[in-house]
Structure 1
Amino acid sequence: MMTLTYVSIRQLSKRYGVHASTVWRWRKSRGFPEPYLFSPQCARWKLAEIEAWEAAAALRLGG
């Protein structure tokens, strides 16, 4: 059985070296994956979806 790993906005901000608001903005401007809302104050992203987005972005940039 595969375990799902979720990451927080704080973890994503640190991963990319950007402010949290930038990550939220990327949803519209760069097709960043949508978060899963576990409560009004708890948004998380599936790590597998983040990694797929990174791979697709690398291909678009020729990497």
Structure 2
Amino acid sequence: MMDRTEELFNEMLDKYDPELILGALDEMSRMGKEQLIELRNVCEKMNIAEEAKNHQPD
């Protein structure tokens, strides 16, 4: 589990400003478990929609 977490974190650092990531982590540290689960669900739905958009024929 930790290897995947580290991999994702490093991937985010390559894509986004570190200050943005640190700010998001700070906000997430203040959220409750239920809010974090809902955030994960929203992000998963966004990723699915983005993948579907990227795989549509031209």
TM-score, length-scaled by structure 1: 0.40
* Greater relative contact order (Cα < 8 A, sep 6+): 1
- Structure having the larger proportion of residues in strand: 1
Larger radius of gyration: 2
- Structure having the larger proportion of residues in helix: 2
